[in-house]
Each structure stands twice: as structure tokens, then as C-alpha cells.
Structure 1
Amino acid sequence: MTWLLLPFEVTFVQRALVAGVLVSLVCALVGTWVVLRGMAFLGDAMSHGMLPGVALASLSGGNLVLGAALSAGAMALGVTVLGRSRLLSPDTSIGLLFVGMLATGVIIVSHSQSFAVDLTGFLFGDVLAVRSADLAGLAVALAVTAVVSVLGYRSFVALTFDTRKAHTLGLRPVLANGLLLTLVTLAIVASFHVVGTLLVFGLLIAPAAAAVLWVRRIPLIMLCAAVGGVVSTVLGLVVSWYWNTATGATIAAVAVALFFLSALASRLWHRVRPTDTDTPADQEWSEQTS
């Protein structure tokens, strides 16, 4: 087993591991709601919708995180405004904003002398170049995400299950939806410059989706998603070390591969032992309103 531990004797790999664990925990908390609410397309759109802000900040010498935050905020605001229209479906609105923001970002980045490098860095990040300050930022993002997740838990469950009934119970689903969008934005913005949008989105969706196949309780889904993200990070770092592959992309690929293995195992298991088909939100909501 020495070969498994060998890469983690190097300092920059140790920092990459810590960063991956922190990102996994943040993404587990947020990604569970993204998966349960069917917001995967929105998460993808927001992760790539940051490109205009990042590109402008890069060309002007400004703060990349601030540029990403402003761009992601504009994307979230656009989704909220267009989402109120009865003439457009949510997917249509998100798709239009996604393409528009991504195209604008590529146009801006194309004026840079290092177009390919900038865009590659945005998509894949450089987890092996993580600094102590980056780890501190991720730790703060995790703390904020955990606090909001605990305080808004019941409202998030209501929002996932039945928005109209949430109104009657005074759970303020509009505010809950805004907080959820804020958490998605925070997870993406806090992590992209460290590990890239590809890895953030991979850890946001794949571990939570794999967990949903096995457990019904939302807290357990979050726990399993966190474990899955950490395992993906460790395996991805080891594979990247020995195969000399792009680290961020390798971690994301491992997370997706683990999801498909989980899906296959779950399908075989449920053929042998059929279980109920209630969703986690159904069970949580029925218990809270009973």
C-alpha cells in the first residue's frame, strides 16, 4: 500500500488533497439540493456563466474571484427574472443565459494573448497549485454553507417538495430559492479558481446523484456525497500522479465513473430487493408535516 500513500508525501499534493476535501464537503451540502430539485442544468450554466466576469478581471488585472462573483450574481439574477415569465420554460431561460454568458466570455477572452491557456485554466483550474490562502477561503465558504444549510433546512425541503404548501406554512419558498441560488453561486465561485469549473460541477452533481440511488434521508445523502467526493479526490490524485494526467479533470472523471458504478450496483441490488419509490424529499416532507 506504500504506492497509494507515496504521492501524499509531497507538500503540494497534500494541499491539493485538503482543497479537494473542502470542495467535496461544500459540494455535498449544495449538490444534494441541486440533484433533488433537478437543478443540474442550472448549476452547469452558472459555473460557465462566470466566464465573462473572470475574463474581464483577468484582462484588467482585477480580482478573479470578485469578477466571478459578479458574473455569477448576474447569471442568478437573470435566471430569477426570466423564471417569472409564463411564456418561457425555466430550461429555455437558463439555456439562453448560458449560451449568452459563455459566448460573451469567449469573445472577451479571445482578446487575450493567451486565449487557450486562460480558458483551460478556467475550465480545469490547477489544484496542485493551491495556496494556504485558497484553503482558508474554502474553509470560510464551507462554514457559511453549513450554517445556511442548517438554518434553511426545513425551507429547502419544502421548496423541493411542494412550493404552494410551503407558502401556506409560512416557509417563504421565494427566499429559500434565493438562498439556494446563493449557495450554488458560493460553492462555484469559492472553488473554481482552485480546481476549475469542470471539477466543481463534477463534485457538485456526481457524488450526490450516486448517493440518491442508495439512501432516502437527505442528511444521509449529504454524508454519502461527501464521502464520495473525498474518495474521488483521493483516487483522482493518485491516478493523476502515476499516469501524469490533468489532476482536476481526473478527479471529475473518477467522480463520474463512481456514479456509473453506483448506478449499476444499485440497479442490480434493487432487482434482488425491491424498495419503495418515494423520493428523499417525499419522506422528509411527510415526516415534518405529520
Structure 2
Amino acid sequence: MEWLTGPYEVAFVQRALWSGILVSLICATTGTWVVLRGMTFLGDAMSHGMLPGVALASLHGSSLLVGAAVSAGVMACGVTVLGRSRRLSQDTGIGLLFVGMLSLGVIIVSRSQSFAVDLTGFLFGDVLAVREQDLVNLTVALCAATLVSVLGYRSFLALVVDERKAHTLGLRPRLAHAALLGLVTLAIVTSFHVVGTLLVFGLLIAPPAAALPWARRVPVVMCGAALFGMTATFAGLLLSWHLRTAAGATIAAVAVVLFFLSASAAGLRRRRSKDARPLPALET
């Protein structure tokens, strides 16, 4: 029991746990729509496309949160504009913006003397250095994400099922897609400076994907994703404490491992259900 509870008697580990739980809830709410909508590549691109804004804010001593928000906003606008082009597929436009923004960010960061440290902090964050104000910001972001998801539930669901049908029903799929982009931006921007883009993207994708085989309703998928995310946070922090590994990367790795375990268990369940079916009677 001491092995399990000992690390969480330390104040900064407790704050790290609470921040991980809040990020898990935010990412469960947002990531479920990302997975169902097939926007995984977009989520990855947006999480890394914030680097130019973060780098500029860091070099000029400005707010990293503001820099990330501006850069993510530019990325979202670029995706929207290129997505309307008939000559380019959406994936091609996202890929171009992804490479361009990431390259620009690395160029800006390389001008500083702490290139490796700054880039490592951007990717992996420092979940063990979470402050009380960070927890407040994450709580506000969770409330906002929940509100947007509830208000836009019908539109998001119709957008997932059939965009043309959503347009026929008057649910304004373009506006719904823009709101979904805003939801992804909110989740990434409010979480990255605490846990890094790697952990944000890991919790945005892995827990919903792990919960998807076990649920048929979107709210149930979100609840399952939240449980998987919180489990990954608790186990990841525990392992990182005892193994002396990077906390953010360990949490992300545990989230991915949980996905593979869930997918394997779901596949085994399907095979057993098929084997349990009675064989058809022979015709006489």
C-alpha cells in the first residue's frame, strides 16, 4: 500500500494528479468527437502547430497561453480555408500546415540558447510543476468544453453520422465543424503548458479509442474515455515516481498501452461471441 500511496502524499504529485484528472476529463469530452469524426491527424497537427506562437511568446517574455492561442487560431483558420479548396484534400492541407508551422516554430526556437530545453518542455511539459492557478484554468476549460459539447451535441452527432444529412436537417454543419475546431483548440491550448503536447494528444486520442469498442452511445464513450484517462494518469505518475522517468511521457505511454489492452480484450470478446453461437441445424 505504501508503494501505491506513498508518492501521492507529496504536494506537487497531488497537484500533478489533479491536473491529469482535469486534462483527462477535458480530453475525454473533446477527444470523443475527434475520434468519431476522424480528426486524429488534425488534432496532432494542431497540437504541434502551436510551436511558433509559444516560441515567440517565450522569446519575448509574453504569456505562453496567449501565444499558443494565437498560433492555434491561425492553424484552425488555415485548415478551414484550405479545406474549402477543391484541388487539395483536407489531409493534404492539414499536412502542409502541420509541416510549415512546426518548421517555423523550430526555426524560432533555434534562435534561443536553450533550444533543446525549450523544445523538450513544449513536447513533454512539466506535470510535476503544476501550480494552483493552472488547476483553476483547467477547471474553467473543463466547464467551457462541457458546455460547448452539450449545446452542440445534436450538431456534432449529425456531423459524425452524415454531413449532408446534417445540412438537410438545418444543423449548419460548417458552423458545427468550426465549433468542433474551437473545442479542440480549447483542449490543446489550456492543457499543453501544463502537460506538454505529447500528453495532450495522447489523452485526446488513446482513451476515447480505448472506450469506443465497449460503448454504443457518445456519452458512454466519453465516460469510458474519462476513466481510461484518469487510470493512465494515476498509473503513469506512479510508475514515473518509482522508475524515475518523465511523468508526461509515462502517462502518455500508459494511455497507449491501455488502448492496446482494450482493443485486444474487445477482439477476444468478439471471437468468443462468434464461437458461442450455435451451429445451424443440418438440412434433412
For the superposition of Structure 1 and Structure 2, which TM-score range results when normalised by the shorter chain? over 0.9
Q: Which residue does 1:9 correspond to in 2?
A: 9
What TM-score, normalized by structure 1, do the two folds share? 0.94
Structure 1 position 45 matched with structure 2 position 45: yes
Q: Which residue does 1:285 correspond to in 2?
A: none
Q: Which residue does 1:99 correspond to in 2?
A: 99
- Rg bigger for which structure? 2
Q: Which residue does 1:234 correspond to in 2?
A: 234
Counterpart of 2:214 in 1: which secondary structure?
A: coil
How much has 1:165 moved relative to structure 2?
1.2
Q: Which residue does 2:129 correspond to in 1?
A: 129
Give, in whole Å, the separation in 1 of the partners of 2:25 and 2:83: 29
Amino acid at match of 1:59: L
Structure 2 counterparts to residues 273-284 of structure 1, below 5 A: 273-274=273-274
Q: Which residue does 1:245 correspond to in 2?
A: 245
Counterpart of 1:235 in 2: which secondary structure?
A: helix
Structure 1 position 139 matched with structure 2 position 135: no
Counterpart of 1:33 in 2: which secondary structure?
A: helix
Amino acid at match of 2:32: T
Counterpart of 1:67 in 2: which secondary structure?
A: helix
Amino acid at match of 1:262: S
Deviation readout 1:234-289 (Å, 9 max, x if unpaired): 00000000000000000000000000011111111111125xxxxxxxxxxxxxxx
Structure 2 counterparts to residues 201-212 of structure 1, below 5 A: 201-212=201-212
Q: Which residue does 1:263 correspond to in 2?
A: 263
Amino acid at match of 1:122: F
Give, in whole Å, the separation in 1 of the partners of 2:154 and 2:175: 12
Residue correspondences, number: 274
Structure 1 position 22 matched with structure 2 position 22: yes
Structure 2 counterparts to residues 25-174 of structure 1, below 5 A: 25-174=25-174
Deviation readout 1:118-143 (Å, 9 max, x if unpaired): 00000000000000000000000000
Give, in whole Å, the separation in 2 of the partners of 1:10 and 1:61: 31
Q: Which residue does 2:220 correspond to in 1?
A: 220
Give, in whole Å, the separation in 1 of the partners of 2:34 and 2:168: 24
Give, in whole Å, the separation in 2 of the partners of 1:87 and 1:168: 25
Give, in whole Å, the separation in 1 of the partners of 2:226 and 2:183: 16
How much has 1:216 moved relative to structure 2?
0.9
Q: Which residue does 1:176 correspond to in 2?
A: 176
Deviation readout 1:147-171 (Å, 9 max, x if unpaired): 1100100000001111111112111
Name structure 2 gaps, 5 residues minimum: 275-284
Give, in whole Å, the separation in 2 of the partners of 1:260 and 1:166: 33
Deviation readout 1:16-50 (Å, 9 max, x if unpaired): 00000000000000000000011000000000000
Name structure 1 gaps, 5 residues minimum: 275-290
Deviating beyond 4 angstroms after TM superposition, the runs of 4 or more aligned structure 1 residues are none
How much has 1:2 moved relative to structure 2?
2.3
Amino acid at match of 2:197: T
Give, in whole Å, the separation in 1 of the partners of 2:8 and 2:37: 37
Structure 2 counterparts to residues 175-194 of structure 1, below 5 A: 175-194=175-194
Amino acid at match of 1:39: M
Give, in whole Å, the separation in 1 of the partners of 2:5 and 2:171: 48
Give, in whole Å, the separation in 2 of the partners of 1:39 and 1:165: 19
How much has 1:213 moved relative to structure 2?
1.4
How much has 1:215 moved relative to structure 2?
1.0
Structural RMSD (CA) = 0.6
Give, in whole Å, the separation in 1 of the partners of 2:192 and 2:158: 30
